[in-house]
Amino acid sequence: MTARRFVLIDRDGTINVEKHYLSDPDQLELYPGVAAAIRRLNRLDLGVAVVTNQSGIARGFFDLDRLEQIHTRLFALLEADGAVIDGIYICPHGPDEDCICRKPLPGMVEQAVAEHHFDPTRSFMIGDKEVDIDLGRAVGAVTFLVRTGHGPSWVAGTKADHVVDDLPAAVKIIEGLVAAERACASSS
């Protein structure tokens, strides 16, 4: 049996509405259709991992306890609509710190791989910034730049495999890619 494939998703600007250093769980607002899209990934038996730079911790805007409260709310909002994420992986460091987890470096993906045992070269990466695309390319994933969040500012120069309006549009393409791959495998 082969390992389950994973979809790696940026948080701010991709899953939830971009807020400048979101630090209040009550301000967490999902983009329309996000929970249903993640539920569709669940039905395809794809794992879902959130990978998110959270330099607001290093900058002193909030702490790990507050971030945990935000993520507890995120899990609750998604689960209320029948959507499940397998894990959230964070980089709490600032951009000037020498860490291996800050996107576009692969540390968060390596953590997810260690926990869930998937092949990152068979995964998909969805985000609203070019660092998300660079992370996806670094690990060999198929990449999607969404136009939500900061996405519009990156479209012209992106190296993404796909540019889409939002997370649900990315999931629609993933559904097609997975269906085609499964059809090829079953006819072999």
Q: How many residues does the chain have?
A: 188
Say whether 134 is catalytic. Answer: no
Nearest alpha carbon to residue 23 among 76, 75, 62 = 62
Name the catalytic one among 10, 128, 132, 134: 10
CA separation, residue 30 to residues 43, 103, 140 (Å): 20, 22, 28
Phi and psi at 50, nearest 5°, equal -95, 130
Say whether 26 is catalytic. Answer: no
Residue with tokens 């082969």: 2
d(CA 63, CA 69): 10
**Which are the catalytic amino acids?**
10, 12
